[in-house]
Amino acid sequence: MRKHIALLGSATAVVLTAGLAACGSANNPAGAGANAASTNTPVQRGGTLTILDSETTLTLDPAQSWSLAVTSSGLLWRRLTTWKIGRTGVPEVVPDLATTDGTPSDGGQVWTYHLKSGIYFSNGQPITSYDVKYGIERTYAPALSGGLNYQKPLIADTAGYTGPFGGKQLSSIVTPNSTTIIFHLNKPYGDWPWVVSTTSMAPVPVGEAPAATFGNHPITSGPYAVQSYTPGNSAVLVRNKYWSAATDPNRAGGPDKIIFELNQDPTVEAQTLIADGPNAQDAFGADFVPPAQLDQVENDPSAKARLVTSPASPLEYLAVNVQSPRLKNLKVREALEYAVNRQAVVVASGGPIAAEPATTLITPGILGREQYDLYPGGSSGSPAKAKSLLAQAGVKNLTLTLATPNDPISTAIAQAVQEAYKTAGINVVIDALSDNAWADLVTGNSASGYDLALSSWQPDFPSAMDNIEPLFASDMIGNGNYNISRLSDPHVDALINQAEGIINATAAGKVWAQADKAIMADAAAVPLVYNKNSFLRGSGVENFYIGEFPAYPVYTAVSLKQ
């Protein structure tokens, strides 16, 4: 799937439509300075920022949001930790509500946090450890399923727990006083500081957040409160008068008001921002700029100066169904690695302005990534090497089914793969499916129905864990999970478990890199390209940039010219 991060926390947060995920990138002449389109200027407070977005509905209950920590959820919700995203450099996890990013004990199975003083909800109520605990407990309620729930399988003694609404609490989350919270996990987990940075871990006032209605009128903890929300139309955020910049160095709190204009057509949205009229100058687009408009921007110096492009980041790849009878032979899978023409996939993705060739699984911009190529067939592939491997495997007349979402870019990529494999003597039948049908097929419990699946992945937080574990751990096969390669390798599982238990991020990164190489040694996936995303801003928008990760603007940094 193309994992589209719903920046507003839409109820349909994981969107399988390819057009939303990989069509946006741009050729910015600044090269490494692609974010120079909005200069790094001191934050000036004031004004009304407009964000144009194609989403039609929002999910304003943090328990159900998939929004990234530095996009719209960061405007509304604080968590124990958050992300420090600069214009360059690997992102860091940093304290937010807490005084540190966490103190581990018992080998990383217990994590303790102490809250800062002087922090308040938008209703003026002090934020306590009890509110943090309550917010997390709400995520276990069946009525609030569907958000970023990395904590659910990690917090100890949660079997059968269905939330706090009947008065039940989790004994594994201990709050000895109003400023201390202690998490007992079911195993050592070094990425816990990243987990508590996700939106679902935001505090909500104890007893004041009913599952059915809290999302209609949420009580927030970030720089902004929700003034109004009309599904299909708009959401208006105004300043949380109880928010203090002194306790929150990670959010600029620039505009006085932020208006999300929903249900926008991305093409019209881009045209509006290119024109930079009076109603667009203090606005930016939440959607990737469509390819046709990227070509238009390239010939418009004013618009080109206002285009911001991410580094190559989200991974586009072929999941190789290792449980398929046709692909159980390693040499056959290795042939797929050598035969692929990544340069053709770059062209199908929109050219160098949209993608770069990929040979590894861990996303660029994440600690632990190592650049390597186990199958050096060159950017155009090596059909001769692939044919040799097939001959060694004794395989002739190989026909494979490739499942792909039925959209123009995915179809173009699938056809590029089909053509490359044809030169190696491999016949590929493309099965173009609706988003739901694709997901049902590849994430279901049956291994039949496909040999290859075109997919993409953007981690939910900047850890190599989120590149590897969801896609290749044995317990992520079927049941709606995304090990669509259906790889069950004890060595890979052991490396995943080892890396997850390491507290030191640098040391953990080295083990994640080993896992990356072990998966590639299994030839369980064919990395194709790292996609790029491009976004437009109006001329009145400042501090609008994209860091090394994620491939989205840092909403919490944006301000307006005064």
What is the per-residue pLDDT for 236?
98
Cα–chain-centroid distance for residue 34?
Answer: 21
**Average pLDDT in the 313-332 region?**
97
Distance CA 161, CA 137 (A): 9
pLDDT of residue 40: 73
Report helix, strand or coil for 186: coil
Given this model, what pLDDT does residue 37 score? 53
* Confidence grade of residue 33 (pLDDT, cut at 50, 70, 90): very low
Look at residue 27 and tell me whether its pLDDT is greater than 80: no
Q: What is the pLDDT of residue 22?
A: 28
H or E segment to which residue 111 belongs: strand 110-114
For residue range 506-560, list pLDDT tens digits in order: 999 999 999 999 999 999 999 999 999 999 999 999 999 999 999 999 999 999 9
SS3 513: helix
Contact 151, 172 (CB under 8 A): no
Q: Looking at residues 100-120, what average pLDDT do you find?
A: 97
Nearest in space to 529 (alpha carbons), one of 311, 324, 321, 367: 311
pLDDT at 353: 85
pLDDT of residue 146: 85
Contacts of 471 (CB under 8 A, 6+ apart): 319, 361, 457, 482, 483, 484, 485, 525
Return the number of other C-beta atoms located less than 10 Å from residue 153's C-beta.
11
Could you say which DSSP state residue 446 is in?
-
How far apart are alpha carbons 440 and 458 in whole angstroms? 20
In the numeric block, which tokens belong to residue 436?
A: 């739901």
Q: Provide the pLDDT confidence category of residue 163 given band limits of 50, 70 and 90.
A: very high
On the question of pLDDT at 9 being above 70, the answer is no
Q: Please identify which residue in the block is written with the tokens 């509304």.
A: 76
* CA atoms of 217 and 226, how far apart (whole Å): 7
CB atoms closer than 10 angstroms to residue 142: 8
Domains of the chain plus CATH, in order, are 31-256+536-560 (3.40.190.10), 315-531 (3.10.105.10)
Checking if the pLDDT of 106 tops 80, the result is yes
Angle of helix 465-472 relative to helix 490-500, nearest 10 degrees, comes to: 140
Compute the distance between CA of residue 413 and CA of residue 126 in angstroms, rounded to an integer: 52
Instruction: Find the mean pLDDT for residues 370-379.
Output: 95
Is the confidence at residue 390, as pLDDT, over 80?
Answer: yes
The more confident residue out of 145 and 483 is: 483
Dump pLDDT digits (tens) for 411-432.
999 999 999 999 999 999 999 9
Please check the confidence at residue 114 and state whether its pLDDT lies above 50.
yes
Q: In sequence order, which ranges of 276-427 are alpha helices (DSSP H)?
A: 291-298, 301-304, 330-339, 342-349, 383-393, 408-423
Using CA atoms, how far apart are residues 328 and 316, in angstroms rounded to an integer? Answer: 23
Calculate the average pLDDT of the chain.
92
Residue 456 in this model has a pLDDT that exceeds 90: yes
Confidence at residue 16, expressed as pLDDT on a 0 to 100 scale: 28
**Percentage of residues in the chain having pLDDT higher than 70:** 93
> What pLDDT shows up at residue 224?
98
pLDDT band at 15 (very low <50, low <70, confident <90, very high): very low
| DSSP of 5-35 | --TT--TT-SB--GGGTSS-----TTGGGGG
The reported pLDDT for the residue numbered 1 is: 36
Confidence of residue 32 (pLDDT cuts 50, 70, 90): very low
Which residues touch 239 (CB under 8 Å, ≥6 apart)? 223, 224, 225, 253, 256, 257
Task: Give percent of the chain with pLDDT exceeding 90.
Answer: 87
Residue 39 has pLDDT above 70, yes or no: no
pLDDT score, position 41 = 82
The answer for residues whose C-beta is within 8 angstroms of residue 26's C-beta and 6 or more apart is 34, 289, 294, 297, 298, 307, 309, 353, 532, 534
pLDDT classification of 235: cutoffs 50, 70, 90: very high
* pLDDT tier at 59, thresholds 50, 70, 90: confident
Q: Tell me what pLDDT residue 4 has.
A: 36
pLDDT surpasses 80 at 442: yes
Higher pLDDT, 285 or 42: 285
Token pair for 77: 């919700």
Q: How far is CA 347 from the centre of its chain?
A: 24
**CA-to-CA distance for 262 and 475, rounded, in angstroms?**
38
Query: Do residues 20 and 4 lie in contact, with contact meaning Cβ atoms separated by under 8 Å?
Result: yes
Name the H helices within 357-504: 383-393, 408-423, 435-443, 465-472, 490-500
Quick check: 254 and 43 in contact, CB under 8 A? Answer: yes
